[in-house]
Structure 1
Amino acid sequence: MDYLMTNGGKITFGDDFNFEAENDTDPYNYTDTCCSPGMVCSMTDGMYFEAVFLPVFYSLTLVLGLPGNGLVLAVLIQRKQSWSVTDTFILHLAMADTLLLLTLPFWAVQAVSGWSFGTPFCKIAGAIFTINFYCGIFLLACISLDRYLSVVHAVQMYSRKKPWMVQASCLTVWLFSIFLSIPDWYFLESVYDSRRDKEECVHNYLKLSQSGFDWGLSSRLLYHIVGFILPSFVLLFCYSYILQRLLQGSQGVQKQKAVRVILALVLVFFICWTPYNITLMADTLQSNNTLVETCDGRNALDIALITTSSLGYMHCSLNPVLYAFVGVKFRRHLLDMLKSLGCKLLSGVGLQGSSRRSSMWSESGDTSHTFAIS
Structure 2
Amino acid sequence: MEMNMDVELDGIFRSNTTYDYGDYEYKEDIEPRGSEAVLIPFLYSVVLVVGLLGNGLLLAVLSQKRRTCSISDTFILLLSVADILLLVMLPFWAVQAAQDCGWCLKIHLCKISGAVFNINFYFGIFLLVCISLDHYLSIAHSTRLYSHKKPKSARISFLLVWLFSLLLIIPNWDFLVIKADPEAEEKTLCIPNYFSKLNLVSRLFHHILGFLLPAVVLIVCCSCILLMLQRSSKSLQKQRATMVILALVWIFLLCWMPYNITLIVDTFMRTSKVPQETTNSKTFLKTALLVTTALACVHACLRPLLYLSLCGNFRKQLLALLRCTRIESEGSLWELGVGEEALPAESHGGEEMKQMTSVEHQVQSAQC
* Structure 1: gaps of 5 or more residues: 1-41, 343-350
The reply on whether 1:235 has 2:208 as its aligned counterpart is: no
Structure-2 change in CA distance of 1:124 and 1:261 (3 Å)? closer
- Please, what TM-score do these two structures have when normalized by structure 2? 0.74
* Structure 2: gaps of 5 or more residues: 1-27, 346-368
Partners of 1:335 and 1:352 in 2: how far apart? 10
Alignment-mate amino acid for residue 148 of structure 1: Y
1:259, CA displacement in angstroms? Answer: 5.3
1:314, CA displacement in angstroms? Answer: 1.2
Correspondent of 1:188 among 140, 158, 176: 176
Structure-2 change in CA distance of 1:363 and 1:305 (3 Å)? closer
Q: Secondary structure at the match of 1:181?
A: helix
Partners of 1:141 and 1:291 in 2: how far apart? 39
Partners of 1:199 and 1:143 in 2: how far apart? 41
Alignment-mate amino acid for residue 311 of structure 1: L
Q: Secondary structure at the match of 1:189?
A: strand
The reply on whether 1:99 has 2:88 as its aligned counterpart is: no
The reply on whether 1:109 has 2:95 as its aligned counterpart is: yes
What's 2:227 paired with? 244
Structure-2 change in CA distance of 1:242 and 1:101 (3 Å)? same
The reply on whether 1:222 has 2:205 as its aligned counterpart is: yes
- Would you identify which runs of 4 or more consecutive aligned residues in structure 1 move more than 6 Å? none
Alignment-mate amino acid for residue 312 of structure 2: V
Contact 2:119 / 2:169 at 8 angstroms: preserved in 1? yes
Structure-2 change in CA distance of 1:157 and 1:259 (3 Å)? closer
- RMSD over aligned CA atoms reads 3.0
Structure-2 change in CA distance of 1:152 and 1:77 (3 Å)? farther
Aligned residues: 312
Contact 2:244 / 2:335 at 8 angstroms: preserved in 1? no
1:45, CA displacement in angstroms? Answer: 6.5
Q: Secondary structure at the match of 2:232?
A: coil
Larger Rg: 1 or 2? 2
The reply on whether 1:310 has 2:310 as its aligned counterpart is: no
Q: Secondary structure at the match of 2:148?
A: coil
Structure-2 change in CA distance of 1:268 and 1:128 (3 Å)? closer
* Residue pairs, 1:39-78, within 5 angstroms: 47-78=33-64
What's 2:311 paired with? 327
What's 1:153 paired with? 141
Structure-2 change in CA distance of 1:325 and 1:87 (3 Å)? farther
Contact 2:259 / 2:293 at 8 angstroms: preserved in 1? yes
Contact 2:139 / 2:225 at 8 angstroms: preserved in 1? yes
- Please, what TM-score do these two structures have when normalized by structure 1? 0.73
1:253, CA displacement in angstroms? Answer: 6.3
Correspondent of 2:248 among 262, 265, 268: 265
Alignment-mate amino acid for residue 123 of structure 1: K
Structure-2 change in CA distance of 1:171 and 1:323 (3 Å)? farther
The percent identity for this pair of structures is 47
Higher fraction of helix = 2
1:78, CA displacement in angstroms? Answer: 1.4
The reply on whether 1:173 has 2:161 as its aligned counterpart is: yes
| Alignment deviations for residues 211-241 of structure 1 (CA, whole Å, 9 cap, x no partner) | xxx1232232222222321221121122122
The reply on whether 1:132 has 2:107 as its aligned counterpart is: no
What's 2:25 paired with? none
Structure-2 change in CA distance of 1:320 and 1:152 (3 Å)? farther
Partners of 1:215 and 1:55 in 2: how far apart? 32
Structure-2 change in CA distance of 1:251 and 1:154 (3 Å)? closer
Partners of 2:306 and 2:298 in 1: how far apart? 13
Structure-2 change in CA distance of 1:71 and 1:63 (3 Å)? same
Larger mean CA deviation between 252-261 and 76-85 belongs to 252-261
1:73, CA displacement in angstroms? Answer: 1.6
Partners of 1:337 and 1:164 in 2: how far apart? 32
Contact 1:324 / 1:361 at 8 angstroms: preserved in 2? no
Contact 2:313 / 2:329 at 8 angstroms: preserved in 1? no
